[in-house]
């Protein structure tokens, strides 16, 4: 009898553990076949700038060299490159990047992106997989997407404790300026552009359409990163995510009571969809972009109740009111 009880306890514990591990998965979670697994590497353009001359750089990176010099760094020509690289601030930043992004950490980012793009290709066979690069920009724009290439300025992801961020970034931005969050942001940057080329673009319509645009994007990121927590996908801290979970009904009621859901007022949409220290109109404990959370919850409810809708079908459905109605979203 004791052995039977012990066996039952073990089974129950294993079941609970399994449920806990899978609680963040969408219904599209699957184990990829070995033949579907991609093995991506990240080219360290940031290091090659110092290791290679301009002829070698052009041979390895082609037109991206010009894109980097002119559009990212604002340099007029390759002739300006040696002086730029000799600048003391640039050399210090390059040293910080090299110290933090060791080969092991770079490989860890590449491995996670390999899995993410493997899932993406599984569900979107026609989707492109880009060449991956790291560069530094002096805290400029984080991502460059061009010609099947995705390059990320890793000086924007040196860790929440990196001292310079206290002077160049808003406090609400710093928690996600980390190597751990980098793969999610890289994938999001690529999906935003790649899907836009396929016709999936942010609506210029009302607040609901904006919420569902970001909700679908967050849902797709959950598919691509099944081992990540939902708060990481959303770019929240655990505390901000807990607030959203606790006050989900209140937020939905607030939007509904103010008749803002179908508002095309750009200021109203910015309140819910633009980054900030909190959402205007709500308490200061709320995160910015609370519309991402609401949009994701609507999409999750919609996909659970409409098993016949696949991921391409989710992205091609342009009727926001239809999605909301068929989601039966009731927080």
Q: How far apart are the first and last CA of the chain?
A: 45
Contacts of 78 (CB under 8 A, 6+ apart): 54, 65, 69
Do the bridges between strand 149-153 and strand 143-145 make them parallel or antiparallel, or are there none, so unpaired? antiparallel
| pLDDT for 116 | 97
Which tokens in the block code for residue 292?
């991402």
- Residue 218 in contact with residue 295, Cβ under 8 Å? yes
| pLDDT for 191 | 94
- Residue 59 in contact with residue 65, Cβ under 8 Å? no
Ramachandran area for residue 159 (φ above 0: left; ψ -120 to 50: alpha; else beta): left
| pLDDT for 8 | 35
| pLDDT for 23 | 56
Determine the number of helices (DSSP H) and then strands (DSSP E) in the chain.
17, 4
Pairs from 116-120 (Cβ < 8 Å, separation ≥ 24): 116/183, 116/187, 116/224, 116/225, 117/38, 117/40, 117/187, 117/224, 118/32, 118/36, 118/37, 118/38, 119/32, 119/223, 119/224, 119/226, 120/187, 120/191, 120/224
| pLDDT for 29 | 86
Which tokens in the block code for residue 210?
């904006």
CA-CA distances (angstroms) from residue 236 to 109, 169, 286, 287, 312? Answer: 20, 16, 10, 7, 27
Give bridge partners of residue 133 from the DSSP assignment. 43, 151
Secondary structure element (H or E) that encloses residue 150, with its range: strand 149-153
- Residue 130 in contact with residue 149, Cβ under 8 Å? yes
For residues 165 and 174, what is the distance between their CA atoms, to the nearest angstrom?
7
For residues 207 and 204, what is the distance between their CA atoms, to the nearest angstrom?
9
From first to last of its 331 residues, the chain has per-residue pLDDT tens of 434 333 333 333 433 343 334 457 888 888 888 889 999 999 999 999 999 999 999 999 999 999 999 989 999 888 888 999 999 999 999 999 999 999 999 999 999 999 999 999 999 999 999 999 999 999 998 999 998 999 999 999 999 999 999 999 999 999 999 999 999 999 999 999 988 887 888 777 899 999 999 999 999 999 999 999 999 999 999 999 999 999 999 999 999 999 999 999 999 999 999 999 999 989 989 999 999 999 999 999 999 999 999 999 999 998 999 999 999 999 9
| pLDDT for 154 | 96
């Amino acid at each position: 009898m004791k052995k039977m009880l012990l066996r039952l306890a073990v089974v129950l514990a294993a079941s609970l553990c399994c449920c806990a591990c899978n609680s963040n998965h969408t219904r599209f979670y699957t184990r990829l076949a070995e033949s579907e697994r991609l093995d991506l590497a990240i080219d360290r353009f940031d290091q090659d700038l110092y290791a290679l001359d301009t002829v070698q750089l052009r041979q390895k990176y082609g037109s991206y060299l010009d894109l980097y010099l002119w559009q990212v760094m604002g340099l007029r020509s390759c002739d300006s490159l040696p002086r730029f690289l000799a600048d003391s601030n640039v050399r210090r930043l390059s040293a910080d990047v090299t110290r933090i992004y060791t080969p092991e950490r770079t490989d860890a980012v590449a491995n996670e992106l390999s899995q993410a793009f493997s899932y993406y290709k599984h569900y979107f066979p026609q989707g492109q997989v880009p060449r991956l690069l790291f560069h530094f920009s002096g805290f400029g724009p984080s991502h460059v997407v061009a010609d099947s290439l995705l390059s990320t300025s890793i000086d924007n992801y040196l860790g929440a404790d990196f001292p310079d961020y206290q002077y160049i970034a808003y406090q609400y931005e710093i928690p996600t300026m980390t190597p751990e969050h980098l793969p999610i942001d890289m994938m999001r940057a690529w999906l935003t552009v790649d899907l836009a080329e396929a016709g999936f673009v942010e609506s210029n319509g009302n607040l609901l359409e904006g919420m569902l645009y970001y909700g679908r994007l967050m849902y797709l990121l959950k598919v691509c990163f099944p081992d990540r927590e939902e708060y990481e996908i959303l770019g929240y801290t655990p505390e901000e995510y807990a607030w959203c979970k606790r006050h989900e009904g209140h937020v939905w009621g607030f939007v509904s009571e103010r008749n803002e859901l179908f508002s095309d007022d750009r200021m109203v949409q910015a309140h819910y969809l633009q980054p900030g220290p909190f959402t205007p109109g709500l308490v200061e404990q709320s995160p910015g972009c609370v519309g991402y959370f609401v949009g994701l919850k609507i999409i999750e409810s919609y996909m659970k109740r409409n098993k016949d809708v696949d991921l391409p079908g989710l992205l091609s459905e342009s009727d926001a009111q239809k999605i909301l109605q068929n989601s039966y979203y009731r927080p």
